[in-house]
A = this chain, B = another copy of it.
Amino acid sequence: MARANAEPAVDKRRLILDAAVRVFARQGFHTCRVSDIADEAGVAYGLVYHYFDSKDQILDTLFLERWDILLRAIQQVDAEEIPPREKLYAITSFIVDSYRHDPELMKVIIVEVTRAANTFGRTHLAHIREAYHGIAAIVERAQRAGTFRADITPEFAALAFYGAVEQVLTGWIFALLPTGEREYEQAKTHIVETICGGLDRVVSDAPAPSPTAGRAD
């Protein structure tokens, strides 16, 4: 039963990363010990250092893996030929679904990196900024097309938009907001409604249209 070259039965590296997500989510990065991660993974202490240089590197890896996916999603959305409101909806949807799919990982990324700008956020500021830029680019294009009002800078709008999304996730993480399938879907619409209603050039007075309905250009 020769296995494919050098591929172990269980990828211990992955096992450690997944265990780290659970431990970080439960105890927080600063308050957990490396031995907690090893225990959670059912692996010897030393093995963690066989696969990673440091405790920090484990968190870095988790963050970068996921953030790159987000950045690519933003770029992909921006390339599509759909109205800006739908673009923002797609991004919101992606982030909300990421939370739905793996709440612990999203909790770690938000609490320990994105919102911990003094420690890990500092290290990854450039990556985080890239996401803002991607969103700002969408807003800017929409402004040039006349779909969004132009008196609010794209960078500012991007920050407000992302801030609202992240705050809602934080609300779920810390049980300030009810969770559930219905809530997730509603949140997507509500976030885009709240923010775009403000960014949109005032034209219609029809009640909240379905996010995939409206056509602008």
Contact = CB atoms under 8 A, between A and B. Distances in A.
Interface in A121-139: 121-122, 125, 129, 132
Given A111-B116, A119-B28, A119-B30, A159 B174 contact: no
A190 to B, nearest CB: 5
Interface in A9-55: 28, 30-31
A112 interface: yes
Q: Which of A122, A197, A199 has the most CB of B within 10 A?
A: A197
A70 interface: no
A146 to B, nearest CB: 14
A151 B208 contact: yes
A1 to B, nearest CB: 44
Interface string A171-200: 101101100000000010011011111111
Contact of A116 (B116, B153, B165, B195): B116
A149 to B, nearest CB: 8
Interface in A94-121: 111-112, 115-119, 121
Contact of A198 (B118, B153, B195): B195
A164 interface: yes
Given A163-B164, A164-B163, A177 B195 contact: no
A181 to B, nearest CB: 16
A63 interface: no
A202 B199 contact: no
Interface residues of A, number: 53
A157 interface: yes
Nearest to A168: B159
A145 interface: no
Given A163-B167, A166-B163, A202-B205, A118 B28 contact: yes
A112 B121 CA distance: 12
A4 interface: no
Nearest to A194: B198
A194 B152 contact: yes
